[in-house]
Amino acid sequence: MTVPTDAEAVRIRRLVALYGLTVFATNLAARSLDPILPEIARDFAVGIDTVALLASAFTLPYALIQPILGPVGDALGKRRIIAIAAVFTGVALVACALAPALGFLFVARALAGAAAGGVYPLVIATFGDRVPLAQRQVVLSRMSAFGMGGQIAGGMLSGLVHGVVDWRGIIAGGASMVLAVGLVLWLDLRREPDPPPARLDAAASMQRYVEIIRLPAARLLYMAVAVEGLFTFGIFPYVAALMAGWGIGGPVQAGLALGAFGAAGVAYTFVARPLLTRLGVPMMLRLAGLLTGLGFAAIAATGWIAGAGGSPGLWPVVAGMFAIGMGFFGMHNSIQNRVTEVAPKARGSAVALHAFSFFAGQSLGPVLFGTALAVLGAGPALLVCGAGMLALGLLLSQKFGRR
Protein backbone atom coordinates (compact mmCIF):
# COMPACT_ATOMS: atom_id res chain seq x y z
CA MET A 1 0.00 0.00 0.00
CA THR A 2 1.42 3.40 -1.03
CA VAL A 3 2.19 5.72 1.89
CA PRO A 4 0.79 9.26 1.37
CA THR A 5 3.00 12.31 1.77
CA ASP A 6 2.65 14.40 4.93
CA ALA A 7 0.70 17.14 3.13
CA GLU A 8 -1.57 14.60 1.48
CA ALA A 9 -2.16 12.82 4.80
CA VAL A 10 -3.16 16.12 6.46
CA ARG A 11 -5.55 16.90 3.60
CA ILE A 12 -7.16 13.46 3.84
CA ARG A 13 -7.54 13.71 7.63
CA ARG A 14 -9.25 17.07 7.23
CA LEU A 15 -11.66 15.64 4.66
CA VAL A 16 -12.46 12.71 6.95
CA ALA A 17 -13.10 15.00 9.93
CA LEU A 18 -15.27 17.49 8.02
CA TYR A 19 -17.44 15.03 6.15
CA GLY A 20 -17.34 12.47 8.92
CA LEU A 21 -19.12 14.93 11.23
CA THR A 22 -21.69 15.54 8.50
CA VAL A 23 -22.40 11.84 8.08
CA PHE A 24 -22.47 11.39 11.87
CA ALA A 25 -25.12 14.06 12.32
CA THR A 26 -27.39 12.87 9.50
CA ASN A 27 -27.18 9.23 10.63
CA LEU A 28 -27.95 10.23 14.21
CA ALA A 29 -31.07 12.05 13.06
CA ALA A 30 -32.13 9.19 10.77
CA ARG A 31 -31.84 6.45 13.43
CA SER A 32 -32.99 8.33 16.54
CA LEU A 33 -36.62 7.26 16.03
CA ASP A 34 -36.03 3.49 16.09
CA PRO A 35 -36.08 2.93 19.89
CA ILE A 36 -39.06 5.24 20.45
CA LEU A 37 -41.42 4.10 17.70
CA PRO A 38 -43.77 2.52 20.30
CA GLU A 39 -44.15 5.98 21.93
CA ILE A 40 -45.02 7.56 18.57
CA ALA A 41 -47.55 4.78 17.97
CA ARG A 42 -49.19 5.48 21.34
CA ASP A 43 -49.15 9.24 20.74
CA PHE A 44 -51.02 8.92 17.44
CA ALA A 45 -53.09 5.88 18.54
CA VAL A 46 -51.89 3.58 15.73
CA GLY A 47 -50.19 0.17 15.56
CA ILE A 48 -46.42 -0.36 15.59
CA ASP A 49 -46.63 -1.80 12.06
CA THR A 50 -47.86 1.61 10.86
CA VAL A 51 -45.19 3.77 12.50
CA ALA A 52 -42.51 1.25 11.48
CA LEU A 53 -43.09 2.55 7.95
CA LEU A 54 -41.50 5.85 9.03
CA ALA A 55 -38.20 4.08 8.29
CA SER A 56 -39.35 3.46 4.71
CA ALA A 57 -40.69 7.03 4.53
CA PHE A 58 -37.09 8.21 5.00
CA THR A 59 -35.18 5.65 2.95
CA LEU A 60 -37.43 5.39 -0.13
CA PRO A 61 -37.18 9.11 -1.06
CA TYR A 62 -33.47 8.87 -0.17
CA ALA A 63 -33.18 6.16 -2.82
CA LEU A 64 -35.41 7.76 -5.44
CA ILE A 65 -33.57 11.09 -5.38
CA GLN A 66 -30.21 9.50 -6.21
CA PRO A 67 -30.54 9.34 -10.02
CA ILE A 68 -31.15 13.10 -9.93
CA LEU A 69 -28.52 14.15 -7.39
CA GLY A 70 -25.67 12.10 -8.90
CA PRO A 71 -25.50 14.06 -12.17
CA VAL A 72 -26.32 17.30 -10.32
CA GLY A 73 -23.32 16.73 -8.07
CA ASP A 74 -21.07 15.95 -11.05
CA ALA A 75 -22.19 19.14 -12.83
CA LEU A 76 -22.72 21.69 -10.06
CA GLY A 77 -20.10 20.53 -7.56
CA LYS A 78 -20.35 17.68 -5.06
CA ARG A 79 -19.32 19.72 -2.02
CA ARG A 80 -21.79 22.46 -2.91
CA ILE A 81 -24.69 19.98 -3.15
CA ILE A 82 -23.66 18.27 0.11
CA ALA A 83 -23.86 21.62 1.95
CA ILE A 84 -27.28 22.45 0.46
CA ALA A 85 -28.56 18.96 1.26
CA ALA A 86 -27.46 19.19 4.90
CA VAL A 87 -29.31 22.47 5.43
CA PHE A 88 -32.51 21.19 3.80
CA THR A 89 -32.32 17.98 5.87
CA GLY A 90 -32.16 20.00 9.08
CA VAL A 91 -35.14 22.15 8.06
CA ALA A 92 -37.24 19.07 7.20
CA LEU A 93 -36.35 17.49 10.56
CA VAL A 94 -37.56 20.61 12.35
CA ALA A 95 -40.89 20.12 10.52
CA CYS A 96 -40.93 16.50 11.77
CA ALA A 97 -40.54 17.68 15.36
CA LEU A 98 -43.50 20.06 14.94
CA ALA A 99 -45.76 17.54 13.15
CA PRO A 100 -49.40 18.00 14.28
CA ALA A 101 -50.56 14.70 12.78
CA LEU A 102 -49.11 11.38 11.67
CA GLY A 103 -49.68 12.14 7.98
CA PHE A 104 -47.69 15.38 8.30
CA LEU A 105 -44.90 13.46 10.07
CA PHE A 106 -44.71 10.98 7.18
CA VAL A 107 -44.49 13.80 4.62
CA ALA A 108 -41.83 15.72 6.58
CA ARG A 109 -39.88 12.51 7.16
CA ALA A 110 -39.97 11.80 3.42
CA LEU A 111 -38.67 15.31 2.66
CA ALA A 112 -35.87 14.79 5.18
CA GLY A 113 -34.95 11.52 3.46
CA ALA A 114 -34.91 13.12 0.02
CA ALA A 115 -32.68 15.95 1.27
CA ALA A 116 -30.34 13.59 3.15
CA GLY A 117 -29.89 11.68 -0.10
CA GLY A 118 -27.51 14.43 -1.16
CA VAL A 119 -25.09 13.82 1.71
CA TYR A 120 -23.48 10.39 2.08
CA PRO A 121 -23.47 9.21 -1.56
CA LEU A 122 -21.85 12.45 -2.72
CA VAL A 123 -19.41 12.25 0.21
CA ILE A 124 -18.32 8.83 -1.10
CA ALA A 125 -17.95 10.28 -4.60
CA THR A 126 -15.94 13.21 -3.19
CA PHE A 127 -13.52 10.78 -1.56
CA GLY A 128 -13.32 8.91 -4.86
CA ASP A 129 -12.21 12.17 -6.48
CA ARG A 130 -9.81 13.32 -3.75
CA VAL A 131 -8.32 10.20 -2.14
CA PRO A 132 -5.91 7.89 -4.03
CA LEU A 133 -7.16 4.35 -4.59
CA ALA A 134 -4.39 2.87 -2.42
CA GLN A 135 -5.75 4.67 0.67
CA ARG A 136 -9.41 4.79 -0.29
CA GLN A 137 -10.82 1.60 1.27
CA VAL A 138 -9.31 2.34 4.68
CA VAL A 139 -10.49 5.97 4.48
CA LEU A 140 -14.00 4.86 3.51
CA SER A 141 -14.03 2.50 6.49
CA ARG A 142 -13.34 5.53 8.70
CA MET A 143 -16.26 7.31 7.12
CA SER A 144 -18.36 4.26 7.94
CA ALA A 145 -17.19 4.63 11.54
CA PHE A 146 -18.56 8.18 11.67
CA GLY A 147 -21.79 6.99 10.15
CA MET A 148 -22.12 4.16 12.60
CA GLY A 149 -21.12 6.44 15.44
CA GLY A 150 -24.17 8.47 14.46
CA GLN A 151 -26.28 5.34 14.54
CA ILE A 152 -24.95 4.48 18.00
CA ALA A 153 -25.68 7.98 19.26
CA GLY A 154 -29.10 8.07 17.59
CA GLY A 155 -30.21 4.74 19.01
CA MET A 156 -28.63 4.97 22.46
CA LEU A 157 -29.26 8.63 23.24
CA SER A 158 -32.91 8.54 22.22
CA GLY A 159 -33.38 5.47 24.40
CA LEU A 160 -31.52 6.99 27.35
CA VAL A 161 -33.28 10.38 27.31
CA HIS A 162 -36.68 8.84 26.65
CA GLY A 163 -38.92 9.83 29.53
CA VAL A 164 -37.03 13.09 30.06
CA VAL A 165 -37.41 14.35 26.48
CA ASP A 166 -40.33 13.22 24.32
CA TRP A 167 -39.96 12.05 20.73
CA ARG A 168 -40.43 15.59 19.40
CA GLY A 169 -37.52 16.84 21.47
CA ILE A 170 -35.35 13.96 20.28
CA ILE A 171 -36.03 14.82 16.64
CA ALA A 172 -35.39 18.52 17.33
CA GLY A 173 -32.01 17.68 18.87
CA GLY A 174 -30.99 15.77 15.76
CA ALA A 175 -32.19 18.62 13.55
CA SER A 176 -30.02 21.09 15.47
CA MET A 177 -26.91 18.98 14.87
CA VAL A 178 -27.60 18.66 11.15
CA LEU A 179 -28.16 22.41 10.77
CA ALA A 180 -24.91 23.08 12.65
CA VAL A 181 -22.83 20.89 10.32
CA GLY A 182 -24.59 22.47 7.34
CA LEU A 183 -23.29 25.84 8.51
CA VAL A 184 -19.76 24.43 8.87
CA LEU A 185 -19.90 23.07 5.33
CA TRP A 186 -20.93 26.48 3.97
CA LEU A 187 -18.02 28.13 5.79
CA ASP A 188 -15.66 25.53 4.32
CA LEU A 189 -16.99 26.28 0.83
CA ARG A 190 -16.17 29.95 1.36
CA ARG A 191 -12.63 28.95 2.38
CA GLU A 192 -12.14 26.62 -0.60
CA PRO A 193 -14.86 27.11 -3.24
CA ASP A 194 -15.94 24.36 -5.60
CA PRO A 195 -15.12 24.87 -9.29
CA PRO A 196 -17.69 26.99 -11.17
CA PRO A 197 -20.85 25.00 -11.95
CA ALA A 198 -20.99 23.30 -15.32
CA ARG A 199 -24.07 22.96 -17.52
CA LEU A 200 -26.35 20.10 -16.45
CA ASP A 201 -27.17 17.99 -19.51
CA ALA A 202 -30.10 15.68 -18.70
CA ALA A 203 -29.73 13.64 -21.90
CA ALA A 204 -26.03 13.07 -21.29
CA SER A 205 -26.80 12.11 -17.68
CA MET A 206 -29.27 9.48 -18.81
CA GLN A 207 -26.75 8.14 -21.31
CA ARG A 208 -24.14 7.84 -18.55
CA TYR A 209 -26.60 5.81 -16.47
CA VAL A 210 -27.28 3.51 -19.41
CA GLU A 211 -23.55 3.00 -19.98
CA ILE A 212 -22.92 2.26 -16.29
CA ILE A 213 -25.79 -0.24 -16.03
CA ARG A 214 -24.46 -2.06 -19.11
CA LEU A 215 -21.32 -2.96 -17.13
CA PRO A 216 -21.64 -6.48 -15.63
CA ALA A 217 -19.55 -5.45 -12.61
CA ALA A 218 -21.89 -2.53 -11.92
CA ARG A 219 -25.01 -4.71 -12.10
CA LEU A 220 -23.47 -7.18 -9.63
CA LEU A 221 -22.54 -4.42 -7.18
CA TYR A 222 -25.94 -2.73 -7.33
CA MET A 223 -27.77 -6.04 -6.85
CA ALA A 224 -25.55 -6.83 -3.88
CA VAL A 225 -26.18 -3.58 -2.01
CA ALA A 226 -29.93 -3.84 -2.62
CA VAL A 227 -29.94 -7.31 -1.04
CA GLU A 228 -27.79 -6.01 1.85
CA GLY A 229 -30.27 -3.23 2.59
CA LEU A 230 -33.25 -5.57 2.31
CA PHE A 231 -32.02 -8.30 4.67
CA THR A 232 -29.96 -6.25 7.16
CA PHE A 233 -32.17 -3.25 7.89
CA GLY A 234 -35.66 -4.73 7.85
CA ILE A 235 -35.35 -5.64 11.53
CA PHE A 236 -34.41 -2.17 12.79
CA PRO A 237 -37.89 -0.64 13.27
CA TYR A 238 -39.05 -3.82 15.01
CA VAL A 239 -36.23 -4.29 17.53
CA ALA A 240 -37.94 -2.33 20.31
CA ALA A 241 -41.27 -4.09 19.83
CA LEU A 242 -39.66 -7.56 19.63
CA MET A 243 -37.64 -7.00 22.81
CA ALA A 244 -40.67 -5.69 24.66
CA GLY A 245 -42.68 -8.72 23.53
CA TRP A 246 -39.95 -11.04 24.77
CA GLY A 247 -39.88 -9.25 28.13
CA ILE A 248 -36.26 -8.14 27.89
CA GLY A 249 -36.51 -4.36 27.86
CA GLY A 250 -37.94 -1.07 26.68
CA PRO A 251 -36.50 1.89 24.76
CA VAL A 252 -33.23 2.00 26.75
CA GLN A 253 -32.47 -1.67 26.08
CA ALA A 254 -33.53 -1.34 22.44
CA GLY A 255 -31.20 1.63 22.11
CA LEU A 256 -28.31 -0.48 23.44
CA ALA A 257 -29.08 -3.25 20.96
CA LEU A 258 -29.29 -0.84 18.02
CA GLY A 259 -26.17 0.92 19.24
CA ALA A 260 -24.30 -2.41 19.15
CA PHE A 261 -24.76 -2.47 15.37
CA GLY A 262 -23.17 0.97 15.11
CA ALA A 263 -20.41 -0.01 17.57
CA ALA A 264 -19.53 -2.84 15.22
CA GLY A 265 -19.02 -0.27 12.46
CA VAL A 266 -16.55 1.61 14.66
CA ALA A 267 -14.80 -1.62 15.65
CA TYR A 268 -14.50 -2.65 12.01
CA THR A 269 -12.45 0.46 11.20
CA PHE A 270 -9.74 -0.76 13.59
CA VAL A 271 -9.55 -4.24 12.10
CA ALA A 272 -10.23 -3.43 8.44
CA ARG A 273 -6.60 -2.99 7.38
CA PRO A 274 -5.17 -6.13 9.07
CA LEU A 275 -8.12 -8.27 7.99
CA LEU A 276 -7.89 -7.15 4.36
CA THR A 277 -4.11 -7.65 4.38
CA ARG A 278 -4.20 -11.15 5.89
CA LEU A 279 -7.43 -12.53 4.46
CA GLY A 280 -7.95 -10.74 1.16
CA VAL A 281 -11.33 -9.55 -0.09
CA PRO A 282 -12.86 -12.95 -1.06
CA MET A 283 -12.21 -14.54 2.35
CA MET A 284 -13.35 -11.33 4.04
CA LEU A 285 -16.68 -11.58 2.25
CA ARG A 286 -17.19 -15.21 3.33
CA LEU A 287 -16.43 -14.27 6.93
CA ALA A 288 -18.81 -11.30 6.70
CA GLY A 289 -21.67 -13.47 5.48
CA LEU A 290 -21.06 -16.01 8.23
CA LEU A 291 -20.97 -13.38 10.98
CA THR A 292 -24.20 -11.80 9.79
CA GLY A 293 -25.96 -15.17 9.63
CA LEU A 294 -24.83 -16.06 13.16
CA GLY A 295 -26.02 -12.69 14.46
CA PHE A 296 -29.54 -13.19 13.14
CA ALA A 297 -29.54 -16.76 14.49
CA ALA A 298 -28.59 -15.50 17.97
CA ILE A 299 -31.52 -13.06 18.02
CA ALA A 300 -33.90 -15.75 16.74
CA ALA A 301 -32.72 -18.11 19.50
CA THR A 302 -33.39 -15.37 22.07
CA GLY A 303 -37.00 -15.16 20.93
CA TRP A 304 -37.46 -18.92 21.06
CA ILE A 305 -36.03 -19.13 24.59
CA ALA A 306 -38.30 -16.30 25.75
CA GLY A 307 -41.30 -17.94 24.09
CA ALA A 308 -40.55 -21.18 25.92
CA GLY A 309 -40.66 -19.38 29.27
CA GLY A 310 -36.92 -18.85 29.65
CA SER A 311 -35.07 -15.66 30.55
CA PRO A 312 -32.44 -15.09 27.86
CA GLY A 313 -31.71 -11.52 28.95
CA LEU A 314 -30.60 -8.53 26.92
CA TRP A 315 -27.07 -9.49 25.96
CA PRO A 316 -27.75 -12.20 23.34
CA VAL A 317 -29.63 -9.57 21.31
CA VAL A 318 -26.82 -7.04 21.79
CA ALA A 319 -24.23 -9.64 20.75
CA GLY A 320 -26.37 -10.62 17.77
CA MET A 321 -26.69 -7.03 16.57
CA PHE A 322 -22.93 -6.55 17.00
CA ALA A 323 -22.22 -9.65 14.88
CA ILE A 324 -24.69 -8.46 12.23
CA GLY A 325 -22.92 -5.09 12.19
CA MET A 326 -19.42 -6.57 11.85
CA GLY A 327 -20.56 -8.78 8.99
CA PHE A 328 -22.47 -6.02 7.26
CA PHE A 329 -19.63 -3.51 7.36
CA GLY A 330 -17.08 -6.05 6.21
CA MET A 331 -19.25 -6.79 3.19
CA HIS A 332 -20.53 -3.29 2.48
CA ASN A 333 -17.14 -1.62 2.67
CA SER A 334 -15.70 -4.03 0.10
CA ILE A 335 -18.62 -3.37 -2.28
CA GLN A 336 -18.48 0.38 -1.73
CA ASN A 337 -14.79 0.56 -2.56
CA ARG A 338 -15.39 -1.23 -5.88
CA VAL A 339 -18.24 1.14 -6.73
CA THR A 340 -15.89 4.14 -6.63
CA GLU A 341 -13.93 2.62 -9.52
CA VAL A 342 -16.73 1.18 -11.64
CA ALA A 343 -17.00 4.38 -13.74
CA PRO A 344 -14.25 6.86 -12.77
CA LYS A 345 -15.32 9.48 -15.34
CA ALA A 346 -18.88 9.54 -13.96
CA ARG A 347 -18.19 8.74 -10.31
CA GLY A 348 -21.05 10.83 -8.92
CA SER A 349 -23.53 9.02 -11.16
CA ALA A 350 -22.07 5.58 -10.37
CA VAL A 351 -22.24 6.19 -6.62
CA ALA A 352 -25.75 7.61 -7.01
CA LEU A 353 -26.92 4.32 -8.55
CA HIS A 354 -25.18 2.49 -5.71
CA ALA A 355 -27.03 4.58 -3.12
CA PHE A 356 -30.31 4.21 -5.02
CA SER A 357 -29.98 0.41 -4.96
CA PHE A 358 -28.91 0.27 -1.31
CA PHE A 359 -31.65 2.50 0.04
CA ALA A 360 -34.31 0.99 -2.20
CA GLY A 361 -33.46 -2.29 -0.48
CA GLN A 362 -33.56 -0.57 2.92
CA SER A 363 -36.96 0.95 2.21
CA LEU A 364 -38.43 -2.44 1.29
CA GLY A 365 -36.79 -4.17 4.26
CA PRO A 366 -39.26 -3.12 6.99
CA VAL A 367 -42.24 -3.89 4.73
CA LEU A 368 -41.05 -7.40 3.90
CA PHE A 369 -39.76 -8.14 7.40
CA GLY A 370 -43.11 -7.06 8.86
CA THR A 371 -44.88 -9.37 6.40
CA ALA A 372 -42.55 -12.23 7.31
CA LEU A 373 -43.21 -11.58 11.03
CA ALA A 374 -46.96 -11.85 10.47
CA VAL A 375 -46.75 -14.96 8.28
CA LEU A 376 -43.78 -16.91 9.68
CA GLY A 377 -43.17 -15.51 13.16
CA ALA A 378 -40.05 -13.80 14.52
CA GLY A 379 -37.65 -16.75 14.56
CA PRO A 380 -38.12 -17.90 10.95
CA ALA A 381 -38.17 -14.30 9.69
CA LEU A 382 -34.83 -13.62 11.36
CA LEU A 383 -33.32 -16.83 10.00
CA VAL A 384 -34.40 -15.92 6.46
CA CYS A 385 -32.49 -12.63 6.81
CA GLY A 386 -29.40 -14.41 8.11
CA ALA A 387 -29.49 -17.03 5.35
CA GLY A 388 -29.87 -14.33 2.71
CA MET A 389 -26.79 -12.45 3.92
CA LEU A 390 -24.74 -15.65 4.19
CA ALA A 391 -25.65 -16.58 0.61
CA LEU A 392 -24.76 -13.07 -0.58
CA GLY A 393 -21.34 -13.23 1.09
CA LEU A 394 -20.57 -16.57 -0.55
CA LEU A 395 -21.71 -15.35 -3.98
CA LEU A 396 -19.66 -12.15 -3.81
CA SER A 397 -16.63 -14.06 -2.57
CA GLN A 398 -16.82 -16.25 -5.65
CA LYS A 399 -17.38 -13.36 -8.05
CA PHE A 400 -14.69 -11.09 -6.57
CA GLY A 401 -12.24 -13.99 -6.44
CA ARG A 402 -12.42 -14.35 -10.23
CA ARG A 403 -11.38 -10.73 -10.86
Which residues have C-beta within 8 Å of that of residue 350, sequence separation ≥ 6? 70, 125, 212, 218, 339, 340, 342, 343
- Res. 200: pLDDT tops 80: no
In our burial notation (b when 16+ CB lie closer than 10 A, e otherwise), range 45-70 reads eeebbebbbbbbbbbbbbbbbbbbbb
pLDDT tens digit sequence for 283-341? 889 999 999 999 999 999 999 998 888 888 888 999 999 999 999 988 988 888 788 77
If phi > 0 it is left, if psi is from -120 to 50 it is alpha, else beta; for residue 193 that is beta
Lowest mean pLDDT among 27-31, 42-46, 86-90: 27-31
pLDDT tens digit sequence for 78-90? 889 999 999 999 9
User: Could you give the domains of the chain?
Assistant: 6-401 (1.20.1250.20)
- Res. 403: pLDDT tops 60: no
Return the pLDDT at 263. Answer: 82
Q: What is the mean pLDDT of residues 2-19?
A: 76
Beta-bridge partners for 165: 162
Q: What is the mean pLDDT of residues 356-370?
A: 87
In terms of pLDDT, which residue wins out, 230 or 68?
230
Task: Assign 209 a pLDDT band (cuts: 50, 70, 90).
Answer: confident
pLDDT tens digit sequence for 117-131? 888 878 877 887 777
- Res. 1: pLDDT tops 50: no
Return the pLDDT at 5. Answer: 66
CB 159 within 8 A of CB 36: yes
Alpha-carbon gap, residue 115 to 69, rounded angstroms: 10
Return the pLDDT at 324. Answer: 96
3 state DSSP class of 364 = helix
Beta-bridge partners for 162: 165
